[in-house]
């Protein structure tokens, strides 16, 4: 979807290490945005995107590995050649749906999201016919759904997942981070901290849901209380949408982690608009007036 | 779906004339049957199917044209590798939906039908990766939906349509015709007769919906009345599901046929179970105790 950051670039680099020819698609797909979501304001940074890809391609030229053959940036008329793209439910058009996976977690807040993703990816796969497709671990539910889609429809491609790239304080890189001014940016790490604490509990031998998630909830609750105690011009309020401990294939919530299978620990928080700002404060794109949804996840790996 | 008849064989022959390698899929796809439809009783005639294909392939060997390379007869576990096939709505699983086309005409009586068709065809196309795919004109809505699906999803295949094969009295060949005993078989031609009359009106210059369809309705009404007047042991009652005059791309009903576009004239009738049978009467498979839905269509071609 463009608005490229280091996470995307590292995925393209991985693709070039594993393949001789790399196609990059840059397309802000309307059908994966709900009618009240941020399609119109989603960051579009074409010049910066191309500069980053060009820089990477120069690096690849020297490395003797695969190269970026093309950037595929289609029009919406190309991607939706007959009916206009529809983000309503049930909506009209040609769609791929992957349920019940698409209805869980992110799908609960964003009911059309994965229909749009599965649909546009099917089209992209059919157009490019790639031997391998690359997705980032950060959108873990997307990776599970795309894998399921490839398996169920016998699509002739291999799904490869690249690791989540993070800022030095642990915040997962996201195109939406540009909306976070200094204050919201600082509070935004709560999710990765909470998930990290939960993973630590698993690593220390806990397998029970409550034992694993307790610390994560303690951290988010403490941070919520902490925000309430601040004066309004210092607050960066957030709401936890979910913290999930789920089966890695079905994404269903688990009561106990099977150490042979591991689990997916994931969460979403909504950074609320700042209620008051201070002169000279570093604000994000849009002056921190829009809510920003942040997601993150960690894989609890199977134990031998 | 197997239960091969001359219509299927003529499609395979056409494929062999236009291609060097032909794959035939034989798979009774559960997701296109509604929960109350005839999945379990759908005719399965594997030995006859293979005999017909072998005979055709011997003919093809002599002709020097393409040959039948393989019959692909997968298990349901192959076609639905993760979740069991689901025929309910909304249902769970990985599906392709093509709306609003799938909700019209046949879709009104069979709401899951085209979801099942689009889903299984996507899988078959991905497995075989055919340069061309062949569908029979008899299932006209299916042809429109498959063409739309290929266009919308940029599937790398060409959709070819073979003409409807008919019995000498005009009845469109169908795997379900085996359920028609002599009596229902004879009445069953009402649909092709009615559509033929409507097409004749178009050929004679009528473009108005009522002018084109009047004769078709007269014929079905007359046949309904005629059945009522017969003693019960001679009756073969039927109900008209729909008679449609529709735009060839959108399948929406038209008030006037645009001679530049033409139209699709189609219909469905339900042959009801016989209320009484007579000793020695030639009965169909299942002794004419099950209702049988028959469909047919004629293309009103554009006029120069």
B166-224 pLDDT, tens digit per residue, is: 999 999 999 999 999 999 999 999 999 999 999 999 999 999 999 999 999 999 999 99
How far is Cα B50 from Cα A65, in angstroms, rounded to an integer?
Answer: 50
User: What pLDDT score was predicted for residue A213?
Assistant: 98
The Cα of A248 is separated from the nearest Cα of chain B by a number of Å equal to 14
- Directed axis angle between helix B190-203 and helix B209-229, to 10°? 150
Tens of pLDDT, residues A90-129? 999 999 999 999 999 999 999 999 999 999 999 999 999 9
Paired tokens of B235: 């009756």
Neighbouring C-beta atoms of residue B239, cutoff 10 Å: 13
How far is Cα A33 from Cα A120, in angstroms, rounded to an integer?
Answer: 12
Residue in A with minimal Cα distance to B95:
A97
Q: Name the residue among A93, A97, A148 with its Cβ closest to that of B95.
A: A97
- Interface touch A156/B126, C-beta < 8 Å: yes
Among B8, B132, B24, B13, which Cα is nearest to B62's?
B13
Residue in B with minimal Cα distance to A103:
B92
How far is Cα A253 from Cα A52, in angstroms, rounded to an integer?
Answer: 39
Mention every residue, 6+ apart, whose C-beta is less than 8 A from residue A49. Answer: A2, A3, A4, A26
- How long, in residues, is chain A? 304
Long-range contacts at A275-282 (CB < 8 A, ≥ 24 apart): A275/A232, A275/A235, A275/A237, A276/A232, A276/A233, A277/A181, A277/A233, A278/A233, A281/A181, A281/A182, A281/A183, A282/A181, A282/A182
Mean pLDDT of chain B: 96
Q: Does A94 touch chain B (CB under 8 A)?
A: yes
Neighbouring C-beta atoms of residue A269, cutoff 10 Å: 23
Among A111, A113, A173, A170, which Cα is nearest to A142's?
A113
pLDDT tops 80 at residue B304: no
User: Does the N-terminal peptide bond of residue B47 adopt cis geometry, omega within 30 degrees of 0?
Assistant: no
Mention every residue, 6+ apart, whose C-beta is less than 8 A from residue B231. Answer: none
Mention every residue, 6+ apart, whose C-beta is less than 8 A from residue B33. Answer: B39, B42, B87, B112, B113, B116
Regarding beta strands B132-136 and B158-162, do their DSSP bridges make them parallel or antiparallel, or are they unpaired? parallel
The Cα of B28 is separated from the nearest Cα of chain A by a number of Å equal to 17
Where in chain B are all domains bearing CATH 3.30.1300.10? 178-300
At B6, give phi and psi (nearest 5°). Answer: -60, -30
Determine the topology of domain B6-162 in CATH. Answer: Rossmann fold (3.40.50)
- Interface touch B151/A122, C-beta < 8 Å: no
User: What pLDDT score was predicted for residue A280?
Assistant: 92
Q: Does B259 touch chain A (CB under 8 A)?
A: no
Mention every residue, 6+ apart, whose C-beta is less than 8 A from residue B36. Answer: none
Tens of pLDDT, residues B254-296? 999 999 999 999 999 999 999 999 999 999 999 999 999 999 9
Q: Does B184 touch chain A (CB under 8 A)?
A: no
Residue in A23, A83, A94 to test binding to B, most B beta-carbons within 10 Å: A94
Residue in B with minimal Cα distance to A149:
B94
At A116, give phi and psi (nearest 5°). Answer: -65, -40
User: What pLDDT score was predicted for residue A42?
Assistant: 87
Paired tokens of A271: 């950074």
Q: Does A95 touch chain B (CB under 8 A)?
A: yes
Stretch B90-112: mean pLDDT, rounded? 97
Using DSSP, state whether B83 is helix, strand or coil. coil
Alpha helices (H) in chain B, listed in sequence order: 6-18, 46-63, 76-79, 106-109, 113-128, 140-152, 182-187, 190-203, 209-229
Q: Return the number of CB contacts < 8 Å for A and B.
A: 69
Mention every residue, 6+ apart, whose C-beta is less than 8 A from residue B116. Answer: B29, B30, B31, B32, B33, B87
Q: Name the residue among A92, A95, A155 with its Cβ closest to that of B126.
A: A155
Determine the topology of domain A175-300 in CATH. Answer: 3.30.1300
pLDDT confidence tier of residue B40, bands split at 50, 70 and 90: confident
- Interface touch B91/A82, C-beta < 8 Å: no
Where in chain A are all domains bearing CATH 3.30.1300.10? 175-300
pLDDT confidence tier of residue B64, bands split at 50, 70 and 90: confident
How far is Cα A165 from Cα A10, in angstroms, rounded to an integer?
Answer: 8
- Interface touch A151/B95, C-beta < 8 Å: no
Neighbouring C-beta atoms of residue B20, cutoff 10 Å: 10
Q: Name the residue among A99, A122, A123 with its Cβ closest to that of B93.
A: A99
Query: CA-based angle A270:A246:B31, to the nearest 5?
Result: 105
Among B29, B275, B5, which Cα is nearest to B165's?
B5
Q: What is the dihedral of CA B121, B124, B128, B129, to 10 degrees?
A: 40
- The DSSP 8-state label assigned to residue B263 in this structure reads E
Using DSSP, state whether A70 is helix, strand or coil. strand
Where in chain B are all domains bearing CATH 3.40.50.620? 6-162
Cβ A291 vs Cβ A270: under 8 Å: yes
- Directed axis angle between helix B6-18 and helix B46-63, to 10°? 30
Active site residue B154: no
Strands (E), chain A: 21-25, 67-72, 93-99, 132-136, 158-162, 238-246, 263-271, 292-300
CATH 3.30.1300.10 fits B178-300, yes or no: yes
Low-confidence stretches of chain A (pLDDT beneath 70): none
First to last CA, chain B: 38
Cβ B144 vs Cβ B248: under 8 Å: yes
Neighbouring C-beta atoms of residue A200, cutoff 10 Å: 14
């Amino acid at each position: 979807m463009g608005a490229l950051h280091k996470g995307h670039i590292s995925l393209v680099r991985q693709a070039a290490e594993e393949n001789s020819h790399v196609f990059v698609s840059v397309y802000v797909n309307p059908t994966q945005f709900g009618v009240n979501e941020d399609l119109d304001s989603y960051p579009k940074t074409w010049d910066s995107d191309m500069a980053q890809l060009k820089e990477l391609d120069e690096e690849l030229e020297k490395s003797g590995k695969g190269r970026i053959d093309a950037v595929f940036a289609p029009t919406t008329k190309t991607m939706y050649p007959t009916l206009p793209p529809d983000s309503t439910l049930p909506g009209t058009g040609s769609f791929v749906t992957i349920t019940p996976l698409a209805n869980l977690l992110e799908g609960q807040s964003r009911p059309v999201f994965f229909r749009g993703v599965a649909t546009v990816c099917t089209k992209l796969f059919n157009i490019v016919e790639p031997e391998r497709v690359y997705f980032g671990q950060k959108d873990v539910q997307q990776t599970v759904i795309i894998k399921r889609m490839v398996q169920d429809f016998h699509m002739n491609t291999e799904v490869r997942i690249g690791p989540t790239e993070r800022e030095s304080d642990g915040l997962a890189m996201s195109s939406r981070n540009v909306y976070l001014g200094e204050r919201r940016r600082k509070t935004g790490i709560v999710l990765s901290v909470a998930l990290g604490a939960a993973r630590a509990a698993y690593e220390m031998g806990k397998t029970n849901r409550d034992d694993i998630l307790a610390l994560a909830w303690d951290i988010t609750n403490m941070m919520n209380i902490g925000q309430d105690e601040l004066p309004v011009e210092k607050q960066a309020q957030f709401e936890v949408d979910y913290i999930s401990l789920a089966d890695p294939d079905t994404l269903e919530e688990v009561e106990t982690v099977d150490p042979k299978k591991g689990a997916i620990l994931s969460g979403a928080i909504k950074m609320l608009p700042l209620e008051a700002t201070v002169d000279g404060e570093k604000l994000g794109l849009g002056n921190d007036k829009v809510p920003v949804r942040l997601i993150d996840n960690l894989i609890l790996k199977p134990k031998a």
